[in-house]
Structure 1
Amino acid sequence: MRRRFLSCAMAAAALAAAPSISLAQAAWPARPVRFVVAFAPAGPADIIGRLVAQRLTGALGQSVIVENRAGAGGSVASAVVARAEPDGYTLLVNTSSYAVNPSMQRNLGFDATKDLTLAALVASSPNLIVIAPSVKAGTLKDVMADAQGGAYNYATAGAGTTPHLTAEYLFKVLGKVPVTHVPFQGAGPALNAVMGSQTQMASVALPAAVELVKSGRVRGLVVTGSKRSSALPAVPTVAESGFPGFEDVTWVGIFAPSHTPRAVLERINAEVARLQQDPDFLAKLSAAGFDPLGGSVEQSKAYLQKELEKWAQVVKETGAQPN
């Protein structure tokens, strides 16, 4: 009898607790949310992180604070968030480098397939190869010819970023020319290196360099999309420049630690989806060179799995190293 009473009491307690648990999840966020951005300011992750944080601050009724934690091609920030409490208050803003790093780095400090969940895909952009104003070569074919002697180097936001793999594949696999990779901790520092003639070229996600190309501080060589970017319509595609079929993009997404409540993941996903229907938000994306992405939590997970497989193959083909 006592055992039966205890069982009934425990069941009643569980039922009583269930609404409070649901309410606790529904109340997210009850305090400020932190966006840990995986790269230095001025790159695609930072641009998207700050744009989304600004909008979500109003939508969620809580501050969304942006913190840049650059290093190891985005893996430093990823490891920080992977170790955070899975409560939705520490989130990661990272790029497609997240899908590259497992094939590039032996000791990530986290498991990319188990420790973090892609809650929402926000936007993507083609990559862009820019050259210093002092470089005389005017086209990709000119650069390929000049690079035969091994005198060219190029900057990126870090080893393991998709612009890094883009350049490796384009120059070393397709062009068969020797170029030297110089990794930095963000697209901003990489572009500074080109403007200061420390490197002849940089390979970055397009939004990071749009204003620099327009102002003439760097020259756009090629974009890696299937068509020219409306943000830089004068810059030809790689396909137009002699390598048909070449296409590559950098995407940006919001990740949460694994075991974050499903209700929180769905809320993040839903808020991003709402932003992607906002004409003003879309106009800001377009002006910076981004296109919106989207999809449910499950679709985002499936997208990430395909990206992990795709970039593993590219790393194998290029023999890219984490420098």
Structure 2
Amino acid sequence: MKRLFTFGGTARLLGTLSAAMILAASPQAFADTAYPDRPVRVVVPYPAGGNTDIIAREVAKRLSVKLGQNFIIDNKPGANSIIGTEAVAKAAPDGYTLLVAIGAYANNFALYKKLPYARSDLAPVSQLTNTSLVLVTGRPGITSVKQLVTAGQDKNAPLTFASSGVGSAAHLLGERFARSSGMTSTQHVAYKGSSEAVSDLLAGRVGYMFDAVSAMGAHIKSGRLTALAVTGGSRSPLLPEAPSVREAGYPDMVAYAWSGLLAPAKTPKAIVDKLAATISEVLKDPELVAKLASISTDPVGSTPAEFDKFLISESDVNGKVIKALNISLD
């Protein structure tokens, strides 16, 4: 009887301790199974209707189905994405406020001396997409990267290149290309938006420009612009005749426009990992792949660690250009 009583008492004690341990661990240990139990806000720091917004809405729609809660897009444009990014950086780290970021997020840490948030305030979740850009010109007689570079090395008539603004992805890529190719006399012309830049490009008032294939496709198809190279690691199926920059002899110019998802720092790892895994799954949806292809974008899907490594690389590469040009947007 004594042994039976001891065994029973031990069992009861172990059961009590196990229950206590489960209750103590439940907020994080079981976050992956409980999350989400209410709607999730996904902040897009750009206006509705653009490619970033389209990507965010398509992914959010499928996350809603997979995870059983609404992922609601909240457009908070302004200040080169800083307004929306700050809102997420200062949100509760519970997985219910997320940020869709693009290249400006990584570049802003070098472009601004003072930001209302630090890099450590946000945690990478997953890279969503990559978008190959295209190098185009409207100048007659220039049909290859080699010819463009030769023209750009003429100090008596230096080429100009267009972008949608100082510090923009197109500006930094144009500067990188000028340095990589030895076109040291090339001059940057900043516009208030892509439409004005494209107008002068078509008229031949500026020499070249980098932009998304989807934005330039119609002009290339009509013959008004010539696609010299795409910036992805391989040729684009939308422009199969245009070589990659790697093929054209500039492997260090492989670059993409991209989008990714971040969460407030200290969001439970179980939630971050669950989001990353689900994103990788939904990005394989054939319907979504086709939708992204229509805007010349490819799905990625990555682990938080992989996305963190990518962000560090992006900040480093473009940060060096920003520093060399002494650009500050404060």
Q: Choose from 288, 296, 301 the match for 2:303.
A: 296
Where do residues 1-323 of structure 1 align in structure 2 (5 Å cutoff)? 16=23, 18-19=25-26, 22=29, 26-41=33-48, 43-112=50-119, 114-131=120-137, 136=140, 138-139=142-143, 140=145, 141-142=147-148, 145=151, 149=157, 152-156=160-164, 159-171=166-178, 174=181, 175-182=183-190, 184=192, 189-190=193-194, 192-197=195-200, 200=206, 202-210=209-217, 213-214=220-221, 220-239=227-246, 243=250, 246-322=253-329
- Aligned counterparts of 1:217 and 1:32: Cα–Cα separation in 2: 47
1:254 CA displacement: 0.3
Distance 1:226 1:14, change over 3 A: closer
Paired residue secondary structure (2:236): coil
- Aligned counterparts of 2:224 and 2:91: Cα–Cα separation in 1: 40
1:48 CA displacement: 2.1
Q: Structure 2 length as normaliser, TM-score?
A: 0.75
Paired residue secondary structure (2:237): coil
Distance 1:71 1:238, change over 3 A: farther
Q: What letter matches 1:105 in structure 2?
A: Y
- Aligned counterparts of 1:22 and 1:319: Cα–Cα separation in 2: 47
Q: Do the aligned partners of 2:95 and 2:267 also contact (CA within 8 Å) in 1?
A: yes
Q: Do the aligned partners of 1:195 and 1:218 also contact (CA within 8 Å) in 2?
A: no
Distance 1:319 1:21, change over 3 A: closer
Distance 1:75 1:236, change over 3 A: farther
Distance 1:116 1:183, change over 3 A: farther
Q: What letter matches 1:117 in structure 2?
A: A
Distance 1:212 1:69, change over 3 A: farther
Q: Do the aligned partners of 2:32 and 2:274 also contact (CA within 8 Å) in 1?
A: no
Distance 1:142 1:24, change over 3 A: closer
Paired residue secondary structure (2:86): helix
- Aligned counterparts of 2:322 and 2:88: Cα–Cα separation in 1: 25
- Aligned counterparts of 1:313 and 1:33: Cα–Cα separation in 2: 36
Q: Do the aligned partners of 1:172 and 1:318 also contact (CA within 8 Å) in 2?
A: no
Q: Do the aligned partners of 2:28 and 2:268 also contact (CA within 8 Å) in 1?
A: no
What does the per-residue CA deviation read over 1:198-245, in whole Å, with 9 as the maximum and x for residues that have no partner? 884543344554466556786544322233211222434345556565
Q: Do the aligned partners of 1:153 and 1:180 also contact (CA within 8 Å) in 2?
A: yes
- Aligned counterparts of 2:129 and 2:99: Cα–Cα separation in 1: 15
Paired residue secondary structure (1:81): helix
Distance 1:95 1:290, change over 3 A: same
1:303 CA displacement: 2.9
Worse-matched range after superposition: 90-99 or 39-48: 39-48
- Aligned counterparts of 2:50 and 2:246: Cα–Cα separation in 1: 25
Q: What letter matches 2:187 in structure 1?
A: V
Q: Do the aligned partners of 1:137 and 1:143 also contact (CA within 8 Å) in 2?
A: no
Q: Do the aligned partners of 1:223 and 1:236 also contact (CA within 8 Å) in 2?
A: yes
Q: What letter matches 2:256 in structure 1?
A: V
1:255 CA displacement: 0.5
Q: What letter matches 1:116 in structure 2?
A: L
1:166 CA displacement: 0.7
1:3 matched to which residue of 2? none
Q: Do the aligned partners of 2:125 and 2:272 also contact (CA within 8 Å) in 1?
A: yes
What does the per-residue CA deviation read over 1:133-172, in whole Å, with 9 as the maximum and x for residues that have no partner? 6x5464453487379646735123x544433311111135
What does the per-residue CA deviation read over 1:37-72, in whole Å, with 9 as the maximum and x for residues that have no partner? 233455543332122122222222222222333344
- Aligned counterparts of 2:243 and 2:80: Cα–Cα separation in 1: 27
**Unaligned stretches of 5+ residues in structure 1:** 1-8
1:103 CA displacement: 1.8
Paired residue secondary structure (1:284): helix
Bigger radius of gyration, 1 or 2?
2
Q: Do the aligned partners of 2:121 and 2:265 also contact (CA within 8 Å) in 1?
A: yes
Paired residue secondary structure (2:69): coil
